[in-house]
A and B are shown apart, each in its own frame.
Chain A
Amino acid sequence: MPELLSVKNLKIEATSYPPGEPPKVVTLVEDVSFDLQKGKVLGLIGESGAGKSTIGLSALAYGRGGCRITGGQVLLNGRDILKLGRGGINSVRGRHVCYVAQSAAAAFNPAHKLGDQVIEASLRHGIMNREEATKRALYLFRVLGLPNPETFGDRYPHQVSGGQLQRAMTAMALCPNPELIVFDEPTTALDVTTQIDVLAAIKHAIEETDTAALYITHDLAVVAQISDDIMVLRHGKTVEYGTTKQVIEAPREEYTRALVSVRQAKRDEAPDQTDTLLKIEHVHAGYANGFKVLHDVSMHLPKGQTLAIVGESGSGKSTLARVITGLLPPSEGRITFEGKELPKALKGRTNDELRRIQMIYQMADTAMNPRQTVREIVGRPLSFYFGMHGAKKTERVKELLDQIEMGTRFLDRYPAELSGGQKQRVAIARALAAQPELILCDEPTSALDPLVAEGILNLLLKLQEETAVSYVFITHDIAIVRAIADSVAVMHRGRLVRFGPKSKVLSPPFDDYTDLLLKSVPEMEIGWLEKVLKTRRMESAGN
């Protein structure tokens, strides 16, 4: 069977402009080759910076933000599209190859109706007339499970939800009947319960229309559901390339093995004891404009244990953290810390009360002052809370750096000179410096690559053993909950859905929402998606 797309020895470079230095040419992708046959799906997987989006866009001979394809060939049906002129490449884009972006919300033009944008490429390339195109769009809206497909096209992008936009974007790519679609992290920006629907819709639609696809993602479990072959990338180079079955079930490379095994960590829970550290009772909270975010939330956390708060975006889990810290005073209810009620607002709390609760943020980048060195960042709580200075302070900072498994050579580095994982470690050291009893962790690993994230989780567990610190761990990732929690609180739309020891919360009988949430998390198992969809169909048939 002839290859639809054949990429040979691809090399992509970009020019970077470091401030105060002459421009530098950086190689983003080097010596990448793969083949894709008609109707097949190839998954490109890798961490951020692995060059996967750049490779995906090369199938449209497009370099984003100053990237240039400087070597190799991209053969579409045997023709090198890199050699085409501007007019030639325009007759490939939007006709033979289409693109689905990560953020459909930004990729749709806010000034035009969705329907017009979906059929635009088909009309402009003369593939079909308006009537045919509209008919096809309607068909695709149906296949993709969009609500009210007849009138969906009359709406503007800001009038529909994120999940619907992502599906509309898929319809836009499928409309001109292309041979190949490049999906660039199409479900990454979505909530996990929405992701599964979109994923299923995409899979159904490309099977139905027999379209080939390049599926780009950082989530191996997602790509396992949809692709025939997988290519693992790292730092712009190929690590492993094989069938999905081989890569998932018998990975050859160390790196791939690590990626596959990341989600398998588990931890036994500690028994719920009476020695309560933090108690949240009937908390209601809302913002100044009258929008209420939390409704009657109660939970508690024993000393030295971990409470995981799970929920999707908009569930109120981060708001709860703000309420605990005092940044957002609750309108009703109370929070008790070691048997003593905490003043509601930040301003009312003493420095010692503040010291005992520390926080770690999702984005370590923005959580540290870029103009301060590691020494200043970690040292400040020492001088602020304990009045340490001089050699004693330096000594303690070094100890803390040891504790987070970073050497003293990082003392005088700025955050910009650290990797993502190192930054998060420094943030942990800053929290530890205050010798807190409770650390609030707001999705501390979700912005990190899976292997780095695992390292951070292990560090947190180790520190808990050493210092008996308690964690409130806010996350949307069930796998992390399994790995580190003792007790779990599930939140949905500002309400507490379920709370208790991990073993109880994560095992049946479930309430509807927890059931949906648990079933939506992709598992590293081929055919998982079909299985879930099948049980769903059976359930709805049973109803």
Chain B
Amino acid sequence: MMESGPITGPVVTDATAGETALRSPDLAGVPAKPNPAADELGGTFWRRFAFRRPLAALILQRLGLSVGLLFAVSLMIFGGIEALPGDFATTYLGQSATPQAVENIRKDLGLDRPWSERYLSWLGGAVQGDFGTSWASRNSVSEQIGNRLGNSLFLAFFAALISVPLAVGLGMLAVQFRNRLPDKIINVISLAAISLPEFFIGYLLIMFFAVKWGVATFPATVYDSMGFTERLSAIALPVATLVLVVLAHMMRMTRAAILNVMSSAYVETAELKGLGTFRIIARHAAPNAVAPVINVVALNLAYLVVGVVVVEVVFVYPGMGQYMVDAVTVRDMPVVQACGLIFAAFYIFLNMAADILAILANPRLRHPR
């Protein structure tokens, strides 16, 4: 309900489908030759293709759209920062800024070059996985990120592993007992849960599990030489926090998606055929509920990616989120840009996955006329 992806449903008219797919390679930085004849030829080819293979066409279109979106986001993250007021060199030096020092530092950081040039070299580097050097530590950003990205994904992966089946299960339970006591209890608890800030849940868990009862560890430090089980016990509390954060949303949306299917006319038809409850759910409701539920799951996983930022700060966990927050406080722009782009990429990718899976699960598109 609150956070959903930027890409709308899979209904797209033919014309826009052709347009985006044609435009996307161009957007991705590969310069297309300005040849109108070829363009037109491509148009008719695309149209024919979209007509014959609508499923493939839609998926290609989604892929193109995501690449285009990511490119636009990179432009926004880089260009937006340029357009905003505030001079980094001055900020960087703080009180001790003399004009000469500012000039030197600008040159040092490459800020004296025109921004389009800097953008292209930044983007070129980013595509190859090189995000430049940090202003604060003078280390390679990519090296730092490489390590921390793994840590963040490790955390998110386990949170997803627990929360997805739990949310779908609870959602189904709530539907089964619709408007009865279990449903009402689940509803009230989940309403409360979506109102809790991540850091509150986190500190609450630390207070009780780590400090009072001593059954978990805090802070959740991990390092390279750590064994797998040690790691797991270290991330127990952060994972629990993330699960609680994302669970309520996912469950409420799952419940709504399943209820929507259960109130449809074809489920009534199945009931009037005298089929048993299990058969109705398994054979008639489930195939149609899969697409919306997958969508819900993917959207919430995208939300999870953002959730790690706060949770990592709370638990002092060496991941991407903490890295980014630290960089923001000291205004270490290369790091902020790199982290921003990577977070956005994950978010866009998961939204795209949600879309594509929903398209794949739609029988109307799978079996064209």
On whether A and B touch (CB less than 8 Å), the answer reads: yes
Task: Give me the interface of A with B, judged by CB distance under 8 Å.
Answer: 60, 62, 64, 89-95, 98-99, 101, 103, 106-112, 120-121, 124-125, 156, 158-159, 289-290
Chain A residues whose CB sits within 8 angstroms of the CB of B266 once the complex forms: 106-110
Chain B residues whose CB sits within 8 angstroms of the CB of A158 once the complex forms: 363-364, 367, 369
From B265, B274, B364, B367, give the contact of A93 (CB < 8 A).
B274
Do residues B265 and A62 form an inter-chain contact, with CB atoms below 8 A? no
Q: Does B268 contact A (CB under 8 A)?
A: yes
Do residues B271 and A62 form an inter-chain contact, with CB atoms below 8 A? yes
Chain A residues whose CB sits within 8 angstroms of the CB of B113 once the complex forms: none
Chain B residues whose CB sits within 8 angstroms of the CB of A106 once the complex forms: 264-266
Chain A residues whose CB sits within 8 angstroms of the CB of B269 once the complex forms: 99, 101, 107-109
Do residues B274 and A103 form an inter-chain contact, with CB atoms below 8 A? no
Residue of B265, B270, B273, B275 most packed against chain A (CB within 10 A)? B273
From B14, B15, B272, B279, give the contact of A99 (CB < 8 A).
B272
Closest to B16 in A: A289
Do residues A111 and B287 form an inter-chain contact, with CB atoms below 8 A? yes
Do residues B273 and A93 form an inter-chain contact, with CB atoms below 8 A? yes
Do residues A93 and B288 form an inter-chain contact, with CB atoms below 8 A? no
Interface set, chain B 253-281, CB cutoff 8 A to A: 264-266, 268-276, 279
Q: Please measure, in the bound complex, the distance between the C-alpha atom of A3 and the C-alpha atom of B254, giving whole angstroms.
A: 47
Q: Does B13 contact A (CB under 8 A)?
A: yes
Chain B residues whose CB sits within 8 angstroms of the CB of A64 once the complex forms: 268
Chain B residues whose CB sits within 8 angstroms of the CB of A101 once the complex forms: 265, 268-269
From B265, B274, B287, B369, give the contact of A89 (CB < 8 A).
B274
Chain B residues whose CB sits within 8 angstroms of the CB of A110 once the complex forms: 266, 288, 363-364
Chain A residues whose CB sits within 8 angstroms of the CB of B284 once the complex forms: 109, 111
Shortest distance between the CB of A171 and any CB in chain B (Å): 13
Main secondary structure of the interface of B (DSSP, over half): helix
Query: What are 29 pairs between A and B in contact, CB < 8 Å?
Result: A60-B272, A90-B275, A91-B274, A93-B272, A94-B275, A98-B272, A98-B273, A101-B268, A101-B269, A106-B264, A106-B266, A107-B268, A108-B266, A108-B269, A109-B284, A110-B288, A110-B364, A111-B287, A111-B363, A120-B273, A124-B274, A124-B275, A125-B274, A156-B363, A158-B363, A158-B367, A159-B367, A289-B13, A289-B14
Given contact pairs A110-B364, A111-B288, A156-B363, A94 touches B273 in the complex (Cβ within 8 A): yes
Add 7 more A-B contacts to A92-B274, A93-B272, A124-B275 (CB < 8 A).
A93-B271, A94-B273, A94-B274, A99-B272, A107-B268, A111-B287, A159-B369
4 shortest A-B CB distances, which residue pairs? A93-B274, A94-B273, A94-B274, A106-B265
Shortest distance between the CB of B343 and any CB in chain A (Å): 36
Closest to B275 in A: A124
From B13, B265, B279, B283, give the contact of A103 (CB < 8 A).
B265
Shortest distance between the CB of B360 and any CB in chain A (Å): 13
Task: Give me the interface of B with A, judged by CB distance under 8 Å.
Answer: 13-15, 264-266, 268-276, 279, 283-284, 287-288, 363-364, 367, 369
Chain A residues whose CB sits within 8 angstroms of the CB of B14 once the complex forms: 289
Closest to A89 in B: B274
Do residues B272 and A94 form an inter-chain contact, with CB atoms below 8 A? yes
Chain B residues whose CB sits within 8 angstroms of the CB of A103 once the complex forms: 265
Chain A residues whose CB sits within 8 angstroms of the CB of B367 once the complex forms: 156, 158-159
Closest to A122 in B: B273
Q: Please measure, in the bound complex, the distance between the C-alpha atom of A60 and the C-alpha atom of B265, giving whole angstroms.
A: 16
Closest to A108 in B: B266
Shortest distance between the CB of A44 and any CB in chain B (Å): 17
Chain A residues whose CB sits within 8 angstroms of the CB of B265 once the complex forms: 101, 103, 106-107
From A90, A98, A109, A112, give the contact of B276 (CB < 8 A).
A90
Do residues A121 and B15 form an inter-chain contact, with CB atoms below 8 A? no
Q: Please measure, in the bound complex, the distance between the C-alpha atom of A172 and the C-alpha atom of B288, giving whole angstroms.
A: 20
Q: Please measure, in the bound complex, the distance between the C-alpha atom of A108 and the C-alpha atom of B287, giving whole angstroms.
A: 13
Closest to A154 in B: B367
Chain B residues whose CB sits within 8 angstroms of the CB of A111 once the complex forms: 284, 287-288, 363
Shortest distance between the CB of B155 and any CB in chain A (Å): 36
Chain A residues whose CB sits within 8 angstroms of the CB of B287 once the complex forms: 109, 111-112
Closest to A125 in B: B274
Q: Please measure, in the bound complex, the distance between the C-alpha atom of A125 and the C-alpha atom of B284, giving whole angstroms.
A: 17
Chain B residues whose CB sits within 8 angstroms of the CB of A95 once the complex forms: 274
Shortest distance between the CB of B270 and any CB in chain A (Å): 7
Q: Please measure, in the bound complex, the distance between the C-alpha atom of A103 and the C-alpha atom of B269, giving whole angstroms.
A: 11
Q: Please measure, in the bound complex, the distance between the C-alpha atom of A191 and the C-alpha atom of B15, giving whole angstroms.
A: 30
Q: Please measure, in the bound complex, the distance between the C-alpha atom of A106 and the C-alpha atom of B270, giving whole angstroms.
A: 12
Chain B residues whose CB sits within 8 angstroms of the CB of A289 once the complex forms: 13-15
Shortest distance between the CB of A288 and any CB in chain B (Å): 8
Q: Please measure, in the bound complex, the distance between the C-alpha atom of A301 and the C-alpha atom of B353, giving whole angstroms.
A: 57
Residue of B265, B276, B284 most packed against chain A (CB within 10 A)? B265
Q: Please measure, in the bound complex, the distance between the C-alpha atom of A289 and the C-alpha atom of B269, giving whole angstroms.
A: 36
Closest to A105 in B: B265
Shortest distance between the CB of A137 and any CB in chain B (Å): 14
Closest to A160 in B: B369
Q: Please measure, in the bound complex, the distance between the C-alpha atom of A60 and the C-alpha atom of B269, giving whole angstroms.
A: 12
Chain B residues whose CB sits within 8 angstroms of the CB of A121 once the complex forms: 273-275
Chain B residues whose CB sits within 8 angstroms of the CB of A107 once the complex forms: 265-266, 268-269
Chain B residues whose CB sits within 8 angstroms of the CB of A62 once the complex forms: 271-272
Shortest distance between the CB of B316 and any CB in chain A (Å): 48
Shortest distance between the CB of B365 and any CB in chain A (Å): 10
Q: Please measure, in the bound complex, the distance between the C-alpha atom of A83 and the C-alpha atom of B91, giving whole angstroms.
A: 81
Shortest distance between the CB of A168 and any CB in chain B (Å): 12
Closest to B289 in A: A111
Q: Please measure, in the bound complex, the distance between the C-alpha atom of A101 and the C-alpha atom of B264, giving whole angstroms.
A: 13
Chain A residues whose CB sits within 8 angstroms of the CB of B270 once the complex forms: 109
Chain B residues whose CB sits within 8 angstroms of the CB of A108 once the complex forms: 266, 269
Closest to A96 in B: B274
Given contact pairs A107-B266, A289-B14, A289-B15, A124 touches B272 in the complex (Cβ within 8 A): no
Chain B residues whose CB sits within 8 angstroms of the CB of A89 once the complex forms: 274
Chain A residues whose CB sits within 8 angstroms of the CB of B369 once the complex forms: 158-159
Chain A residues whose CB sits within 8 angstroms of the CB of B364 once the complex forms: 110, 156, 158
Closest to B279 in A: A124
Chain A residues whose CB sits within 8 angstroms of the CB of B279 once the complex forms: 124
Shortest distance between the CB of B368 and any CB in chain A (Å): 8
Closest to A116 in B: B283
Chain A residues whose CB sits within 8 angstroms of the CB of B283 once the complex forms: 112
Shortest distance between the CB of A98 and any CB in chain B (Å): 7
Closest to A182 in B: B272
Closest to B287 in A: A111
Q: Please measure, in the bound complex, the distance between the C-alpha atom of A225 and the C-alpha atom of B271, giving whole angstroms.
A: 30
Q: Please measure, in the bound complex, the distance between the C-alpha atom of A437 and the C-alpha atom of B363, giving whole angstroms.
A: 51
Chain A residues whose CB sits within 8 angstroms of the CB of B273 once the complex forms: 93-94, 98, 120-121, 124
Closest to B277 in A: A86
Chain B residues whose CB sits within 8 angstroms of the CB of A99 once the complex forms: 269, 272
Shortest distance between the CB of B41 and any CB in chain A (Å): 18
Shortest distance between the CB of B200 and any CB in chain A (Å): 35
Q: Please measure, in the bound complex, the distance between the C-alpha atom of A98 and the C-alpha atom of B284, giving whole angstroms.
A: 18
Q: Please measure, in the bound complex, the distance between the C-alpha atom of A98 and the C-alpha atom of B268, giving whole angstroms.
A: 12
Residue of A91, A108, A112, A125 most packed against chain B (CB within 10 A)? A112
Closest to A106 in B: B265
Q: Please measure, in the bound complex, the distance between the C-alpha atom of A152 and the C-alpha atom of B159, giving whole angstroms.
A: 47
